[in-house]
Chains A and B, each alone.
Chain A
Amino acid sequence: MQLYLPIADIPVNVFLILAMGAAVGFVSGMFGIGGGFLMTPLLIFVGIAPAVAVASVASHIAASSFSGAISYWRRRSIDPILAVVLLTGGTVGTALGVWTFTLLRALGQLDLLIATSYVILLTTVGGLMFWEGLRALLRARRGGAATIRRPGSHGWIHGLPLKMRFKRSKIYLSVIPVVVIGLIIGFIGAVMGIGGGFILVPLMIYVLRVPTSTVVGTSMVLTLVTMIFATLLHAVTNHLVDAVLALILMIGGVTGAQFGARAGQKIRGEHLRLLLGLLVLAVGIRFAVELVIRPADLFTIRETGGGV
């Protein structure tokens, strides 16, 4: 069934977009990530202009993460205090990121910087997660108990002042690293145009030692708030949010996210981390290949406005 999109200005197959929304929604519900780094390239592949894709995906991620967040909330796997502290840092980080973005664009070569940092970030984070997940899995296979309190969990991070009790996560931690992580995510998200969930989740697991049970739900709350703001910002500044495209993606996305969240609860923590690591690593390698291999067409066209 073909439908003409009012802002993207092209006809699309509704069922294809629904299926794409559902697939990405499943992944995002399962891992507690936004999935923007998967959805945006898919939409561009279908023929939607990159700017419209980025702007519309933000609202799709908001819907998916809200539906996911509700089911995690019912299972009491969201730490509201942790989410608020992370958001405090995130807001400052986003502002800093937007400022840096403008500065970098003025200097030129922003595209290259974004592409290379994407590759470095995705392959590093993905590789580390994959490796850690693999080790945890082997440890469990050998019969050693998969310990909840991991060794070395009292590193220098836990020596920092301004400690605070995060009841739901059952951790007692300084707010400094939490705010800093929020800041980093906000900054990276604004500069690279991604929600940052796939970086936030490993940072919370490995640096803050937040139990896997509350990581996913809490990260979803952060993604939700960021993406709502991103939607508003895109709608006000570029007028490029395609509400019809967004609605189709949302319907597919929330459905997928429900099943994803359920699947995520069933899978063991180590398996989940291993799978997410593999996914992030795969996307990172795909971007790396794109940079290194000779492109099929060396030329690209971009409309720069001007009008009639």
Chain B
Amino acid sequence: MIARASLIVASFVLGAALANSPASAERLIVSVSNHRVTVTPNYSGEELVLFGSVEKDAQTPAGRNNYDLVVTVSGPRADMVTRRKERKFGIWINTDSRQFLKVPTYLALFSNRPFDDIASPEVQRRQQLGLNNVLLTQRVGPDFADVVPNDPFRSAFVRLRTQHGLYREEQSAVTFLTPTLFRTGIPLPGEVPIGTYDVEIKLFADGALVTRTETAFEIVKVGFEQFIANAAHNNGLAYGLVTAFMALMTGWMASIVFRKD
């Protein structure tokens, strides 16, 4: 929470600093269709919409209309292990493994056109555009570092997350309704984790970053779902006893219902 608050403060400071410099004459105004996604028993994923506009002022170079936009949505972070199986003594067993530290459990990158057309590879790397350039920290010996995009463990990690719809990259998902008004959908499959999601929006023009802004939304359990989850975590024994009792009752009821004689 404190880390998040300081992040917001930092982004404010950064935003103020950028606003003062003449190079960043544009301002981004964005909003998510729903800042609080509630999980109820019939929840099976949701699609949010992010929309916004590019505000220009007097300092904006005249005739600048060719904007590019990259939206990065990152879910709650967690540690994950990627394991590789190898054949030993005739059977396939997990041998090698890599630990990924505090990586997003959900990660989506959307842009209005291919990253290669938006910026040079160098800028793409620096601004973390695309799943290949996003920082995924691994434990490498005593150090923490990201590795090259074609590292087998990193690419397997990204591939498996993508297969489950948890990591995604769409290079035509952002649409400009007018030269300054844009929107994009944020698909959230039912499997996405509960927690806070950060949305970072970066505006590019002529291959360079012009300005950036942030917003966030959260996915929370409410009502029945919240009650069950809280009970399981806070009153483990009572929860277990109730479940065990429920098992006995169900079994007993069935034997009565189905009694023949």
Contact = CB atoms under 8 A, between A and B. Distances in A.
Interface of A: 2-4, 6-7, 9-11, 47, 59-60, 62-71, 74, 111-112, 115-116, 227-228, 231-237, 239-241, 243-244, 246-247, 250-251, 254-255, 257-259, 290-295, 297-308
Contacts of B190: 2, 4, 10-11
26 contacts: A9-B191, A10-B190, A60-B247, A63-B246, A64-B251, A66-B248, A68-B251, A69-B251, A116-B91, A228-B247, A232-B241, A232-B244, A234-B240, A235-B239, A239-B236, A244-B228, A250-B247, A255-B254, A291-B91, A291-B92, A292-B92, A299-B153, A300-B94, A301-B157, A306-B78, A308-B196
Main secondary structure of the interface of B (DSSP, over half): mixed
A71 B255 contact: yes
A292 to B, nearest CB: 6
Interface residue tally on B, bucketed by range: 35 or more
A25 B221 CA distance: 31
Contact of A303 (B78, B87, B243): B78
Contacts of B241: 232, 235
A294 B79 contact: no
Contacts of A237: 236
A306 B246 contact: no
Interface of B: 39-45, 76-87, 90-94, 99, 101-102, 105, 152-153, 156-157, 159-161, 190-191, 193-196, 221, 224-226, 228-229, 232-233, 236-237, 239-244, 246-248, 250-255, 258, 261
Contacts of A293: 92
Contacts of A47: 191
Contacts, number: 203
A302 B84 CA distance: 12
B9 to A, nearest CB: 18
Contacts of A304: 78-81, 99
Closest 8 A/B residue pairs (Cβ): A235-B240, A66-B251, A306-B79, A254-B254, A67-B251, A299-B156, A6-B228, A63-B247
